[in-house]
Structure 1
Amino acid sequence: MSTFLKNSVLTVIRQTLSILLGVMIIILLARVLGPDGQGKYTLLILLPNMLSTLLNMGINAASVYYIGRKLFSIETIYKTNVIISLFLSLISILLGIAFALLLQDSTFSNINISMVVVSLAALPFLYLNKILQSLFQGKEDFQAFNLIVITRQLTTLILMAALVYIVTFGVMGALIAFILGQLITTVLVFYMLKKRLGVKWNQGSFSNQYTKDALRFGLKAHLSNVLAFINYRADVLIISFFLTPALVGIYTVAVNIAEKLWTVSQSVSAVLYPRISSISSENEKNELTAVVGKTVLLLSFIVCAILFIFSESIVHLLFGHEYNSSIVVLKILLPGIVLFSLDKILSNDLAGRGRPIINLYTSLLTVLINVSLNLYLIPQYGINGSAFATSFSYALTLFIKLIVYKKETKLEIKKIILINKTDWNLYKQFVYSILSMRGKKQKL
């Protein structure tokens, strides 16, 4: 538990720093590019991000699972993952070009089609980063894992400042900064794999068996992740179809602020998944997830309440009055964002138990509802309607997941969402341990 707690705290700290860097990027783009430019940039990077999410086949999740179970050597997984990543990149680039041409008169009607094609250059780096980072996660080396994430954000911010603010290359400058940020991160990933894990290219070999097993396991988790991505980003695509890039930009700012609430849940989930995969006792798994889930929900609620109260001041201070319309959108999104933070914990628990298929079924239902509501509400209520559809679908996802999780684990729902006396004592012990460690350091 102490190692899990340490890794969780380290990852939360990393995520917090990552958020600060991410917010600085958002502010820079919002201030310099304005709503229209911000919207165009969002659509440009959406295509490569969408392709790398839809087509990664769950190899990253499978890598974490098989490393935790020690079924294949790290060298074999490494070499096989690199080859798979490059193959998927090639397929995705070809599909991306086809999508760009197909959607040039609708989604990309206000964007130069050559810029859409340029955005696809990020794909090899997106695949390599996402899939190879999972090796550190599987080994529970969260120092390296966190360093890589921070480096990507920091280099992207520096490049954005240089190409958008100083050189004023506009949307194209932002796109180039995004691609170069991914490239630099890929170089760091290869370096860290050699330095931290001792992995070298000539030590491993491509494994057909690992590929088959990884695809068999990964596709179950992957289909669920695909549906989750659609759940996250269907709103942006539908808004871009019915409305203008400027409204996409305004909506994106609200979404980016709201999703920062997932810092704690994403951090803890990244640590929880490999830990659940390696635990054999069902009771121990249940106890760990119950404590983690309710704690994440409480912290997310507290931050949500603060953000809700000060949302108007935050938007005006950071982004300017051009983004006034994003305030209402933000307030509508917040309840769903908070509830979905617990869903992330439960989803990673189920995946760690080897039951990703459950996430697939629950995601399929909520995606259908989310997309249907967006298609119905956006033409009538604009971006506010989209925010309601998204928030409602997040809440519904958690409701369904709690029922299914109870049936799967026999754990009472109240034990997952309600904090009891034992939990408060655990929190006190944690605070005391932090204070005592700090006191010892000061004496030294």
Structure 2
Amino acid sequence: MSSVKNFGRDTIIYGIAVIISAFLGAFSVSIYTRIFAAKDYGEYNLVLSTSLFITTLFSQWIQQSIQRYRPEYKKSGKINEFNTNLYILTIVTVFIIIVLSFLASFFKDKLGAYNNYYWSSVCLILAQFIFLILGSLLQSDFKSKSYKNFILINSIFKFVLSVLLIFLFYKHPISVIYGTVLAQLVLIIPMIRSTEILSNVTSNFCFDDFWFFVKKFILYGFPMIGWFLGNSILNLTDRYMLAILRSSKEVGIYSANFSIVSASLGLLTTPLLSAAHPIIMNGAYDRNNKIDVPKVKHLISSFSKIYLLITLPLFIFVFLFHKEIATIFLGEEYRKGSIIIPILFFGILVWNVSMFGHKGFEVYEKTKVMLLFILFSAVINIALNYLLIPIYGYNGASIATMFSMISYSLLVYIFSYKFIKWELDFKSLIKIIFSGLVAGFFVYLLKDFVKGYIVQLISGAILGLLIYTLILLLIKEIDYKTVKKWIINRLKNNY
């Protein structure tokens, strides 16, 4: 019961940050696509994606290991030892990044048009690395309010600083990268204080304990590097192959429309995923420190259902209004790519639900299996991109991405029975789809009677939500008494 309460609380807290962050993200894309040409925006997006890819290489194995092992160290009263070893590991990794960056700089002239982005990318990688590690500590410790505040402030600073640099200093996409770096650097010291990692660092350093700590992180986290690299390949391959097989302009159009998908879907799904992960990982063990299979199985199924309940009607809405959405948020040069919005949306929707489904693999530390699945999906992505991009351009890239993401989810679902079976309530799923389609039908009819893109979106969203919720109540997919009780409890807690 406490897990459900934590989930609801943390989802709301994360949601506040994500909603504002998503709005700022969509608004910034709207500004950038009206300032920069598609070619320049495409080059910037390739640089940004590559920087994220490299950051993933250095950070994700540590992030995932923090979520996995920090609760254990807490329960055994060894949190000071954990903080000490993590602090040293972070310092060593930062040093390695700096050394490798200086060595690689001797070859940066070979980057051609991307040469000017080199040092800004290095700064971005370093800032992101530290920011992500500290953020993982806050999440693992259930400091959701602090995490929300830092994410929110970072989004605001990033937007404001980037726009100021663009209009006051250099009207070029590189200013956006420097704005992002400055925003994260400003928050690092407050984040360190919030995590209290330095106050709990001991002076009694033991190399053997540190090496044992690092090996544990490597054994668990390194396969996760492969998984996240595979995930990055799924997000990078389409852009790189578009640049090679078509042009940077098409990369810009594709990336801008992709950003709308990320912002809109992330608006609702990121809070769920962010809140669910520490709850599952912290609640995976019983009092005897053994895996509580029934509990984890129930949590995974429950979170999956909540996710689909929210995202499936959102997909129908995006399918109906993709042209209007692109017209509002993108510059004229980018709007012709709006057809890829629902295609990518569906692919990412299915992909994200598997983030709940594969928690059983994580709990059993079967990250190597997850790695094989993601590599298989990456191969499918590369093959389909190679076949479809020369013919269909960015439309082909979106189709390739969608099918590769679906393939991962299918593999997780099929093979999850070996560890903790990922069960989906198909009866509920059918009811959700039915309710969404009926609501979508009435929203589609409304479009003919309402003029103006913004008015269409707002009225369509309100009408669709009301009809969707009403049908769910009528077919008893949502229990009225439970909803009423929850609302009353919320009101009592607030007043």
What TM-score, normalized by structure 1, do the two folds share? 0.89
Find the aligned partners of 1:15 and 1:291 in 2 and give their Cα distance.
22
Amino acid of the residue matched to residue 393 of structure 1?
S
In the superposition, relative to structure 1, how do residues 219 and 416 fare at CA in structure 2: closer, same or farther (>3 Å)?
A: farther
Find the aligned partners of 2:205 and 2:77 in 1 and give their Cα distance.
11
Find the aligned partners of 1:69 and 1:321 in 2 and give their Cα distance.
53
In the superposition, relative to structure 1, how do residues 204 and 365 fare at CA in structure 2: closer, same or farther (>3 Å)?
A: farther
Cα pair 1:332 1:388 within 8 Å, conserved = yes
Superposed displacement of residue 321, structure 1: 1.7
Gaps of 5+ in 1: none
Q: Could you say which residue in structure 2 is the equivalent of 1:365?
A: 376
Find the aligned partners of 1:98 and 1:242 in 2 and give their Cα distance.
30
Q: Could you say which residue in structure 2 is the equivalent of 1:89?
A: 94
SS of 1:373 mapped into structure 2: helix
Q: In the alignment, which of 396, 400, 407 is matched to residue 407 of structure 2?
A: 396
Find the aligned partners of 1:389 and 1:88 in 2 and give their Cα distance.
35
Q: Does 1:303 align with 2:314?
A: yes
Q: In the alignment, which of 237, 241, 251 is matched to residue 238 of structure 1?
A: 241
Amino acid of the residue matched to residue 368 of structure 1?
V
Q: In the alignment, which of 158, 161, 165 is matched to residue 160 of structure 2?
A: 158
In the superposition, relative to structure 1, how do residues 182 and 9 fare at CA in structure 2: closer, same or farther (>3 Å)?
A: same
Q: Could you say which residue in structure 2 is the equivalent of 1:63?
A: 66
Q: In the alignment, which of 237, 242, 257 is matched to residue 254 of structure 1?
A: 257
Q: Does 1:336 align with 2:347?
A: yes
Q: How does 1:21-420 map to 2 (within 5 A)?
A: 21-56=24-59, 58-70=61-73, 73-93=78-98, 95=100, 108-111=111-114, 113-194=115-196, 199-201=199-201, 205=205, 207-260=210-263, 261-279=265-283, 280=285, 281-410=292-421, 412-414=423-425, 418=429
Superposed displacement of residue 234, structure 1: 1.8
Superposed displacement of residue 243, structure 1: 2.9
Find the aligned partners of 2:307 and 2:236 in 1 and give their Cα distance.
23
Amino acid of the residue matched to residue 96 of structure 2?
I
Q: In the alignment, which of 471, 480, 483 is matched to residue 431 of structure 1?
A: 483
Amino acid of the residue matched to residue 406 of structure 1?
Y
Find the aligned partners of 1:432 and 1:205 in 2 and give their Cα distance.
55
In the superposition, relative to structure 1, how do residues 180 and 324 fare at CA in structure 2: closer, same or farther (>3 Å)?
A: same
SS of 2:365 mapped into structure 1: coil
In the superposition, relative to structure 1, how do residues 3 and 240 fare at CA in structure 2: closer, same or farther (>3 Å)?
A: same
Find the aligned partners of 1:291 and 1:137 in 2 and give their Cα distance.
21
Superposed displacement of residue 122, structure 1: 1.9
In the superposition, relative to structure 1, how do residues 382 and 144 fare at CA in structure 2: closer, same or farther (>3 Å)?
A: same
Cα pair 1:297 1:339 within 8 Å, conserved = no
Higher alpha-carbon deviation: 74-83 or 381-390: 74-83
Superposed displacement of residue 28, structure 1: 2.2
Find the aligned partners of 1:440 and 1:413 in 2 and give their Cα distance.
34
Find the aligned partners of 2:148 and 2:322 in 1 and give their Cα distance.
29
In the superposition, relative to structure 1, how do residues 330 and 431 fare at CA in structure 2: closer, same or farther (>3 Å)?
A: same
In the superposition, relative to structure 1, how do residues 72 and 222 fare at CA in structure 2: closer, same or farther (>3 Å)?
A: farther
Find the aligned partners of 2:427 and 2:352 in 1 and give their Cα distance.
13
Amino acid of the residue matched to residue 166 of structure 2?
V
Cα pair 1:370 1:393 within 8 Å, conserved = yes
SS of 2:236 mapped into structure 1: helix
Cα pair 2:7 2:275 within 8 Å, conserved = yes
Higher alpha-carbon deviation: 89-98 or 148-157: 89-98
Q: Could you say which residue in structure 2 is the equivalent of 1:19?
A: 22
SS of 1:354 mapped into structure 2: coil
Superposed displacement of residue 167, structure 1: 4.1
In the superposition, relative to structure 1, how do residues 354 and 166 fare at CA in structure 2: closer, same or farther (>3 Å)?
A: same
In the superposition, relative to structure 1, how do residues 75 and 203 fare at CA in structure 2: closer, same or farther (>3 Å)?
A: farther
SS of 2:173 mapped into structure 1: helix
| % identical aligned pairs | 18
What TM-score, normalized by structure 2, do the two folds share? 0.80
Find the aligned partners of 2:270 and 2:257 in 1 and give their Cα distance.
19
Cα pair 2:81 2:202 within 8 Å, conserved = no
Aligned length: 438
Higher alpha-carbon deviation: 7-16 or 294-303: 7-16
Cα pair 2:60 2:228 within 8 Å, conserved = no
Amino acid of the residue matched to residue 436 of structure 1?
I
Superposed displacement of residue 405, structure 1: 1.7
For residues 52-94 of structure 1, give each alpha carbon's deviation from its aligned partner in whole angstroms, at most 9, with x where no partner exists: 1123361111111111222573333334333333433343455
For residues 114-158 of structure 1, give each alpha carbon's deviation from its aligned partner in whole angstroms, at most 9, with x where no partner exists: 322332122222111112221112112211222221121111011
Find the aligned partners of 1:246 and 1:430 in 2 and give their Cα distance.
51
Cα pair 1:96 1:120 within 8 Å, conserved = yes
Cα pair 2:226 2:371 within 8 Å, conserved = yes
In the superposition, relative to structure 1, how do residues 315 and 165 fare at CA in structure 2: closer, same or farther (>3 Å)?
A: farther
Pairwise CA RMSD: 2.9
Find the aligned partners of 2:325 and 2:204 in 1 and give their Cα distance.
50
In the superposition, relative to structure 1, how do residues 104 and 347 fare at CA in structure 2: closer, same or farther (>3 Å)?
A: farther
Superposed displacement of residue 178, structure 1: 1.9
Q: Could you say which residue in structure 1 is the equivalent of 2:455?
A: none
Cα pair 2:377 2:407 within 8 Å, conserved = yes
Amino acid of the residue matched to residue 354 of structure 1?
E
Find the aligned partners of 1:65 and 1:334 in 2 and give their Cα distance.
30
Amino acid of the residue matched to residue 268 of structure 2?
V
Cα pair 1:220 1:360 within 8 Å, conserved = yes
Find the aligned partners of 1:215 and 1:310 in 2 and give their Cα distance.
45
In the superposition, relative to structure 1, how do residues 84 and 426 fare at CA in structure 2: closer, same or farther (>3 Å)?
A: farther
Find the aligned partners of 2:149 and 2:395 in 1 and give their Cα distance.
37
Superposed displacement of residue 258, structure 1: 1.4
Amino acid of the residue matched to residue 158 of structure 1?
V
Cα pair 2:301 2:423 within 8 Å, conserved = no
Structure number with greater Rg is 2
Cα pair 1:343 1:401 within 8 Å, conserved = yes
SS of 2:113 mapped into structure 1: coil
Find the aligned partners of 2:361 and 2:61 in 1 and give their Cα distance.
15
